[in-house]
Amino acid sequence: MYNRRKFIKLSAVSASLAALSRSAVAKSLSSISPPNLPIVISTWDFGIIANKEAWKTLEKGGRALDAVEAGVKIPEADPNNHTVGRAGYPDRDGHVTLDACIMDEFGNCGSVAAMEYITHPISVARLVMEKTPHVMLVGEGATQFAVEQGFKKEKLLTPESKKAWKEWLKTAKYSPVINIENKHHMPGSKYNHDTIGMLAIDAKGNISGACTTSGMAFKLHGRVGDSPIIGAGLYVDNEVGGATSTGVGEEVIRNVGSFLVVELMRQSYSPEDACKEAVKRIIKKKPETAKQIQVGFLAINKRGEYGAYALQSGFSFAVCNSDKQDLLIKGKSIY
């Protein structure tokens, strides 16, 4: 009897101790999770100014989707940026054709490809997502839709881009060069140029992403890269995280790169390891090509942890949260 009573008493003590330690664990978990939301990250040095614009929405408690659209519109409108938006370098026939896509926390997505005459392809992509039953519009159909939605039709080829194109025409040699956009950037421009891919998590923990580009400089007319292709240039799964890519789009498409990165994070790879594995797949399929081109991936998981990996050195990404608005990180690389 005595023993039984003592046992009951002891059990009660250990049960309340267990409850206490459970509540301590719960408390410590809630204090570290979510770590630092909201947060926005994006590719390359010009990601800093784009993130700052996105942050204006996020810090007010706004939606990640609105933040990424507003953020990437900054490089799209920048007259000194020759790889995104209105001042993008043209294709080999002199047409500026733009690619962009956007994806929200519900798995909705919209995209435009090879679209001419419109400065903000990301906003057209958003309207494709929100106002049509489709995911992707291309070429003239995309421009027509944009005009119907009230976008202004503009001539996008700037004098600087035209000059660079004329210069290129002298040899008209097309071979993707590592960070080709950086090599073609105009004197006086202070940014390191390339596609912008942006991923944000808002205060509610919802993830969205956007990706926008003028594509590879002096491409074949009609060429579409990875950037407007959901799963290649961008992918978001609100349960897992998001990923985006930059570099030679053909290799990203072949590996459905951003979808792969998100799926690897689902299998509990860290964002950086997932990006590294996706880069390694590119090498595995085309080892010789991989040595001569650039591809970079950037990813964030549901907890707001982020990471990146590239084939070649020179890839950077920008991070913005309540701690710091202008953090620039050098991406790790294989070569």
96, 161 Cβ separation under 8 angstroms:
yes
> Of 195, 212, 213, 244, which one is the catalytic site residue?
195
Q: Which residues pair with 119 in a beta bridge?
A: none
CA 138 to chain centre: 20
Q: How far is the CB of 239 from ligand SD4 (least distance, A)?
A: 26
Rounded least distance, CB 249 to ligand SD4, Å: 2
How would you class 17 by CB atoms within 10 Å of its CB: exposed for 0-12, middle for 13-18, buried for 19 or more? Answer: exposed
Residue 65 token pair: 């989707």
Closest approach of ligand SD4 to the CB of residue 228, in Å:
9
Q: Are 279 and 257 in contact (CB under 8 A)?
A: no
Of the pair 297, 306, the CB lying nearest ligand SD4 is at 297
The minimum distance between CB 327 and ligand SD4, in angstroms, equals 21
Q: How far is the CB of 322 from ligand SD4 (least distance, A)?
A: 29
Judge whether 195 counts as a catalytic residue: yes
User: How do strand 39-43 and strand 316-321 relate by DSSP bridges?
Assistant: antiparallel
The answer to whether 295 and 310 have CB atoms below 8 angstroms apart is yes
CA dist., res. 151 & res. 118, Å (int): 7
Q: Which is nearer to ligand SD4, 158 or 227 (CB)?
A: 227
Q: Which is nearer to ligand SD4, 38 or 85 (CB)?
A: 85
Closer to ligand SD4 by CB, 20 or 220: give it.
220
Sign, Cα dihedral of 143, 86, 219, 160: positive
8 A C-beta contact, residue 203 and residue 61: yes
Cβ proximity to ligand SD4: between 58 and 72 the closer is 72
Compute φ and ψ for 288, nearest 5 degrees. Answer: -70, -45
Sites of contact with ligand SD4 (CB under 6 A): 181, 194-195, 213, 215-216, 225-227, 246-249
Q: Which residues are catalytic?
A: 195
